Amino acid sequence: MTGASTTRTFGPTGRRIAAIGQGSWKIEDAEADSAVAAMRRGLDLGLNHIDTAEMYGSGAAERIIAEAMVGRRDEVFLVSKVLPSNASKRGTLAACEKSLARLRTDRLDCYLLHWRGAYPLEETIGAFDRLVRDGKILSWGVSNFDVADLDEVAAIAGAGHPACNQVLYHLRERAIEHAVLPWCQRHGTAVVAYTPFGESNTPFDARTEQGMVLEEIAAAHGATARQVALRFLLRHPDVFVIPKASSIVHVAENAGAARVDLSAAELARIDAAFPRGRPRRGLPTI
């Protein structure tokens, strides 16, 4: 994987998109100008997979993304998500219309069920199918789905579904490697790693043992610990990462991860420093 604009095929969609994308959870906490500028710089650097959700800032994140996409919609692989509480058939159709309006676009490239809720999957999937027929979404996927849920989706929707499963995946949370990732690999479903930097900065603190490992490997590549962390997650060819950055410096650093090529020995060293752990019951989420 070389070059900041390195692309991968996004599951069954056949679309080639950046392996490194851009998240948007809490993007509205930043100054709007800075968030928009960071996202546009990300697009300049080839980070064309933009992830959002109706939940983020109750629509505020989608509005910021609309601003960042002005004049550039066709460059973007745009993903949004319906809340489980809206995921009835009619609720999903209505939620999608509202997301499209906030995003100021006529289509989503992929639309996800944010996590599984009380509505039967048949209803949500029925709405997704209708939205595909109407050209309002080009594909659909799920998020936070464990293997049993994925099996149900495949039983209802058949081969080629879901397009992706967006899940928690970072150096200190590798649970998906036990069963979810293999399921997705078998079914041609893209795996999108959310919170790829994890929920604490400790792994990036060179005073810790784990941080030192990342720092030493990074130094050998003229890279940063965060770039090494992203590249470790991307060692599986079906995985995409969506780090969120609201500053130009951060987004440029994240894009630069595509230039870092880790050797098998370096991957093994990271694997040992951040062990996968045993299979546990339930899929970790945040």
Ligand X SMILES: NC(=O)c1ccc[n+]([C@@H]2O[C@H](COP(=O)([O-])OP(=O)(O)OC[C@H]3O[C@@H](n4cnc5c(N)ncnc54)[C@H](OP(=O)(O)O)[C@@H]3O)[C@@H](O)[C@H]2O)c1
Residues of the shown chain interacting with ligand X in the complex, contacts defined by CB under 6 A: 23-25, 51, 114, 143-144, 166, 194-197, 226, 242-247, 250, 253-254, 286
Query: Which residue's CB comes closest to ligand X?
Result: 23
Q: Least Å distance between CB 265 and ligand X?
A: 25
Whichever of 12 and 21 has its CB closer to ligand X, that residue is 21
Whichever of 118 and 159 has its CB closer to ligand X, that residue is 118
Whichever of 183 and 194 has its CB closer to ligand X, that residue is 194
Whichever of 201 and 268 has its CB closer to ligand X, that residue is 201
Q: Least Å distance between CB 248 and ligand X?
A: 9
Q: Least Å distance between CB 133 and ligand X?
A: 25
Whichever of 85 and 133 has its CB closer to ligand X, that residue is 85
Q: Least Å distance between CB 55 and ligand X?
A: 9
Whichever of 147 and 265 has its CB closer to ligand X, that residue is 147
* Nearest Cα residue to 80 out of 140, 127, 161, 20: 140
Q: Least Å distance between CB 104 and ligand X?
A: 19
| CA geometry: angle 119, 284, 86, nearest 5 deg | 20
Q: Least Å distance between CB 89 and ligand X?
A: 22
